[in-house]
């Protein structure tokens, strides 16, 4: 049996799931004055709603039609709200929130080699990761991020936090050729990463393990080859920093007689399971090559600006057909996990660098933060849009504040005006993680106290006087 609602086909359950009036039972109905779907078949629905069953979207339509056809255990009406897909943060080092503001106003190589790597070696342990991950998840939920990529250390601890707080994540333990927290170098770090992948693949539907060699300038060709072969063997994603700075390009060119992108191509590394962070310095032929190989690119405008890494050629990448998403990078180089800031900067930067106000329109940027990010991560069959059959990863953004009044175009407001404080409700897999700005799966007071305690110890040891 099928019901057709405004061109939206929904497969009905058996009569045992319907009452005498023919309404179907669902767990949750969520509405909005504007439903921004990121689905070309139904771009923006005024006074719309979504019906959710077993964590998935089973209907999208006008609110009155949804309410007439479905009976929910809970309804979040959404008056004065935009309902949209949750934001996808395609690149972060989540627990680095505990290093927020530790070393600012430095070039990437100086910041990383002389400050961050030594601090990680001294302070990163399981407790650091647990509290840092909780703080990061609290920040991301408050800002409407529902899926994120975490490229850092202690992946079991990070995964446990993600499991508890309800977010969706790709967890990618970083592997590098020199010592890192609890590892002597590549061999033991990579072995632990592969073990993590084997143990966590398929364990939790919201957590995807991944392989993460740090970068072409910190990982040898032999080890990069090991990494991509492992990703293929276990059929998992692979993420890597790539072509982030001019210094990296010059270093890799000197070592391997190839630019970073071409170096990976020479190793047979580039394929659709790969998504690369930054990619600030590709040339025209490399953009075409990345599009041909089907890799994803995660643009991190905040970090690239703060570290003076440069301006990634995002309009050219989009024109070439590259799958481009957005990320925040770590909070020690940003200094936050605010995807709304990344959205707005992406729109503004590329208008300014191209002298073309149409270079990256609002709808394109919002897509990069949602469905485009999902595509870059290989998750577009699960998340990124409000569409029947996808997971119910949704946010409600309130429209009542003065900076959001009046409203002519919901997408314009989301890109150019909204910020993290406007997110009212966050839902992942049909479970409400935040409602009316109240956290439901984390304890903010405890997290704040424990994060402050760790920061005081770091500050005392690094600056004893």
User: Are 312 and 113 a contacting pair, CB within 8 Å?
Assistant: no
Kindly state the tokens that stand for 364.
Answer: 């394109």
Instruction: Note the pLDDT tens digit of each residue in 115-161.
Output: 888 888 899 999 999 999 999 999 999 999 999 999 999 999 999 99
Residue ranges for the binding site for substrate? 120, 214, 244, 329
- The pLDDT assigned to 50 comes to 98
- Domain ranges in the chain with CATH number 2.30.40.10: 24-85+388-439
- The pLDDT assigned to 333 comes to 86
Segment 101-106 long-range contacts (CB within 8 Å, at least 24 positions apart): 101/332, 101/335, 102/332, 102/458, 102/462, 103/332, 104/306, 104/335, 106/307
DSSP 8-state assignment for residue 309: -
Residue ranges for the binding site for Zn(2+)? 91, 93, 241, 329
- Domain ranges in the chain with CATH number 3.20.20.140: 87-377
Using the CB atoms, write b or e for 381-396: b if 16+ within 10 Å.
ebbbbbbbebbbbbbb
Domain spanning 24-85+388-439, CATH architecture: Roll (2.30)
User: Are 293 and 265 a contacting pair, CB within 8 Å?
Assistant: yes
Ramachandran category for residue 96: left, alpha or beta (phi over 0 → left; psi -120 to 50 → alpha): alpha
Sequence-ordered list of residues with C-beta below 8 angstroms from that of 157, at least 6 positions apart, any chain: 126, 129, 130, 133
Residue ranges for the binding site? 91, 93, 120, 214, 241, 244, 329
- The pLDDT assigned to 463 comes to 67
Q: How far is CA 177 from CA 185, 220, 245, in A?
A: 5, 7, 19
Q: How far apart are CA 370 and CA 382, in angstroms?
A: 12
Flag residues of the chain having pLDDT under 70: 1-22, 463-465
User: Are 10 and 59 a contacting pair, CB within 8 Å?
Assistant: yes
Using alpha carbons only, what angle is made at residue 166 by residues 162 and 168, rounded to the nearest 5 degrees? 65
User: Which CATH fold would you assign to the domain 87-377?
Assistant: TIM Barrel (3.20.20)
User: Are 38 and 6 a contacting pair, CB within 8 Å?
Assistant: no
Half-sphere exposure of 107 (CA within 13 A, CB side): 7
């Amino acid at each position: 049996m099928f019901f057709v609602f405004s061109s939206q086909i929904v497969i009905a359950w058996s009569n045992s799931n319907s009452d005498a009036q023919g309404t179907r039972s669902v767990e949750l109905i969520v509405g909005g004055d504007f439903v921004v779907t990121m689905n070309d078949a139904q771009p923006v629905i005024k006074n719309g709603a979504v019906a959710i069953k077993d964590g998935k979207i089973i209907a999208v339509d006008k609110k009155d039609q949804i309410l007439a056809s479905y009976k929910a255990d809970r309804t979040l009406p959404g008056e004065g709200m935009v309902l949209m897909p949750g934001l996808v943060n395609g690149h972060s080092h989540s627990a680095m929130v505990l290093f927020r503001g530790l070393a600012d106003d430095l070039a990437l190589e100086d910041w990383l080699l002389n400050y961050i790597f030594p601090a990680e070696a001294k302070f990163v342990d399981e407790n650091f990761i647990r509290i840092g991950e909780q703080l990061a998840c609290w920040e991301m939920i408050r800002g409407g991020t529902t899926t994120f990529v975490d490229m850092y250390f202690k992946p079991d601890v990070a995964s446990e936090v993600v499991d508890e707080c309800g977010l969706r994540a790709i967890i990618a333990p970083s592997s590098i050729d020199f010592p890192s927290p609890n590892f002597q170098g590549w061999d033991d770090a990579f072995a632990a990463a592969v073990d993590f992948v084997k143990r966590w693949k398929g364990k939790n539907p919201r957590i995807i393990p991944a392989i993460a060699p740090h970068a072409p300038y910190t990982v040898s060709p032999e080890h990069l080859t090991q990494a991509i072969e492992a990703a293929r063997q276990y059929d998992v994603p692979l993420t890597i920093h790539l072509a982030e700075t001019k210094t990296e390009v010059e270093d890799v060119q000197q070592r391997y007689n190839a630019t970073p992108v071409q170096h990976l191509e020479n190793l047979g590394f580039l394929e659709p399971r790969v998504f690369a962070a930054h990619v600030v310095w590709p040339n025209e032929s490399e953009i075409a090559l990345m599009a041909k190989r089907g890799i994803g690119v995660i643009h991190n405008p905040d970090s690239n600006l703060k570290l003076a890494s440069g301006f990634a050629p995002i309009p050219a990448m989009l024109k070439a057909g590259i799958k481009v998403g957005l990320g925040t990078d770590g909070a020690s180089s940003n200094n936050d996990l605010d995807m709304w800031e990344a959205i707005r900067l992406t729109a503004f930067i590329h208008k300014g660098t191209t002298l073309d106000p149409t270079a990256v329109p609002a709808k394109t940027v919002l897509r990069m933060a949602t469905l485009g990010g999902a595509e870059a991560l290989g998750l577009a069959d699960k998340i990124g849009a409000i569409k029947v059959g996808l997971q119910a990863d949704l946010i409600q953004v309130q429209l009542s504040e003065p900076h959001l009044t009046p409203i002519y175009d919901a997408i314009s407001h989301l890109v150019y005006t909204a910020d993290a404080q406007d997110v009212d409700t966050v839902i992942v897999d049909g479970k409400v993680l935040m409602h009316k700005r109240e956290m439901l799966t984390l304890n903010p007071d405890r997290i704040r106290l424990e994060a402050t305690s760790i920061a005081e110890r770091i500050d005392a040891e690094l600056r004893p006087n």
